[in-house]
Structure formats: C-alpha cells, structure tokens
Amino acid sequence: MLMHQASVLTEKQRAGVASSATSYTPFQEPWWLDVVAPGEWDEVVIKRGGQVVARLPYVRQKILGSVLLIQPRLTPHLGPWLHASSAKLTNKLAEEKELMQELIDALPRFDLFRQCFAPQVTNWLPFFWRGFRQTTRYTYRHSGLADLAGIWAGLRENIRREIRKARNVVAVREDLGIDRFARIWALTFSRQGARLPVSMELLHRLDEACDNRRCRRMFFAVDARDRVHSAAYIIWNADCAYYLMGGGDPELRCSGAGSLVMWEAIKFASTVSAGFDFEGSMIEPVERYFRSFGGDPVAFFSLSKLSRRTQFVVGLYHAGSALLGHNPVI
C-alpha cells in the first residue's frame, strides 16, 4: 500500500513543492501567492510515494479573533489541485473523494473558509459531505485560439463595429508601464466612488514578478493627444491567458477602445497560450459585455463554510435583527 501524508508545509518546504505540474492556474503557484499574500499563505499537501498528488493553498487571516481561510486579492481562483488520474471513472471519483477529504481534514482550525475553485475542479461533493456550501459562478472562455478568424466571426456585430471604429481613433501600445495602467484602472473605480482594491506597492510587486517570468502583457489604447482611452492587463500560462485587470476613461468611452484592447489581448494570447479567460463577472452588464466576445460559458464553484461558533454568532445576529425589524445582510 502506498504511503501518503497530509501536512501544512513550512515556507522552506513549499519552495520545492509546486510547479506548473501541481497547479491548474498561475494563481495557485507559490510565486504568485508570495507576491499577493506575503507571509499570509500556506497550503495542505498530500504525498504518495514521495510525489505530490494533491494540494490546497489558502490565505490565513485573523480578524477580531476569528480565523479566515480565504484567497487573496487579484486571485480569481484558488482551491484544490489533484494529480491527473488515468484510472477508470469509478476509481477516479473514489480517489478524488479520498484526496479531497484528506485535504479538508488537514486544514487548520478556521471560523470561515471561502474560496473560488478553478474551473478544472468539477466535483465538489467531498466538500459537501464535510459541511461546505457551494455557489456556482460563471466565466467566459475561448478554449481554442488557433482559429482567430472564427473567433472574430463569433463576436457580436456591435463589438466588431467598435473595434473598427477605435482603430481610426487610437493606436494600441504595450510600453506605458504599470503606473500608467494603474491610473486608467483607477478611473473605473473612481466612477463608482471607490478606490483601487490593491496598493500601488502590490501592483508593482506583482508586475515585476510577472515580467520576470514573461507571463504578462499590458495593452493601452492611446490617441494622438497621448490620452489613454482604455487598458487591459493579462497574464498566462501554457493552458490559458487571463484578463486580470482592465479599465477605461469614462470621458472617452464612446471611442470603442475597450473592445479594441480586448481583441488585441485575445490575438496576442493566441501566440502564447491555448485559451483565453475573461474572468467573468456575475454583474449583469459586465457579463453581457464579456458574452459579446463569443466565448463559452464555463462554470466554477465558490465554496464556503462557517465554524459552529460562527454559525451560532450569525444565528444570534439574524434573530436579533428580526426582533428589531432589521434586514440582515450576512
């Protein structure tokens, strides 16, 4: 019988564990987590025969005495990774159950667990059996980028019109840097009365790490007056490129530049990766826009669990709100 273990690794041990072979997405890679959650992340790892067969990274935060196992900002997916199995389906599912439940049981104590799993994780039953709740979310993906002509034909006509229109107004550049990108990205949030969700320090750190690994590209739509109309930031591995961040100047929205930089990002992605993920939103207008680029809807799972203590506290809050006539939002 093969020996196996489930453990939480030290920082030194983590360094030799994960690679592209032990992650579905760049967001599960140790280098990514070191950048976006320095000193806050760890992972549970299962080994069999000396080989990593499953891992579950997480970010651990403590707020008002409660322990949260979550995913960091700028990280659309986290969740478990399981090694590819060549076993027949019934045996594969049994193995998935065993590995996932070992990962769950090895997690440190928590009051709240909440993560979005990568779309490759299609079976969450073992988490259900351990008391987790699931919400299905959606993104849009082009799974094959070789046929750019076919992708172009699949765009909604208004998107093609915007792209043609924008080409007469702006030029697409890739050399303006992260500070210029941050300024245009910030305009998207300021229009909603919000600030950037991350610090400039984190943006610089992330951009430097991605640039060193040659896995990121920025696209800027710039007019003759050197005004940036729109910008997009993508990262990639061999399997998929991800639209990680993007924004536009609200005063220049009629130029169609947003659609142009998205199209240029897709075209570039076809030279470095097999797919393109729009990192879809559940916000209806954003979903409608991403859908207009003709990708396939792809489901992924958001998993959460509250400890018994936290459930009790939440229950008291709801009961108290009901007595006072309030509508709780938890």
Q: What is the DSSP track for 227-295?
A: -EEEEEEEEE-SS-EEEEEEEE-GGGGGG-HHHHHHHHHHHHHTTT-S-EE----SSHHHHHHHHTTTP
Helices (H) and strands (E) in the chain, counts: 11, 13
Judged against a pLDDT cut of 70, whether residue 263 lies above it is answered with yes
Per-residue pLDDT band at 309 (split at 50, 70, 90): confident
Residue of higher predicted confidence among 135 and 322 = 135
Indicate the residue type of 68: L
Q: What is the pLDDT of residues 222-252, one digit of tens each?
A: 999 999 999 999 999 999 999 999 999 999 9
**pLDDT for res 183:** 95
**pLDDT for res 16:** 43
pTM, to two decimals: 0.87
Tell me the Ramachandran region of residue 244: left when phi exceeds 0, alpha when psi lies from -120 to 50, beta otherwise.
Answer: alpha
Judged against a pLDDT cut of 80, whether residue 129 lies above it is answered with yes
Q: What is the pLDDT of residues 40-62, one digit of tens each?
A: 999 999 999 999 999 999 999 99
| 250-266: average pLDDT | 95
**pLDDT for res 5:** 47
**Above pLDDT 90, what percent of the chain?**
78
DSSP category for residue 111:
S
Q: Which two three-digit tokens encode residue 114?
A: 């909440």
Q: Which residue has the tokens 């954003």?
A: 286
- Find all residues with CB under 8 Å of 285, minimum gap 6, and list them: none
Q: Dihedral through CA 95, CA 101, CA 106, CA 109, nearest 10?
A: 170
Judged against a pLDDT cut of 60, whether residue 9 lies above it is answered with no
**pLDDT for res 192:** 75
- Find all residues with CB under 8 Å of 164, minimum gap 6, and list them: 256
DSSP 133-144: EEEEEEEEEES-
Residue of higher predicted confidence among 71 and 328 = 71
Q: Does residue 159 contact residue 289 with C-beta atoms inside 8 Å?
A: no
| 257-286: average pLDDT | 94
DSSP category for residue 22:
G
**pLDDT for res 316:** 40
Q: What is the pLDDT of residues 88-97, one digit of tens each?
A: 999 999 999 9
What's the mean pLDDT when you consider all of the chain? 89
Domains annotated for the chain, with CATH where assigned, are 4-136+301-324 (3.40.630), 144-274 (3.40.630.30)
Q: What is the pLDDT of residues 170-190, one digit of tens each?
A: 999 999 999 999 999 999 888
Q: Which two three-digit tokens encode residue 252?
A: 């220049």
Per-residue pLDDT band at 281 (split at 50, 70, 90): confident
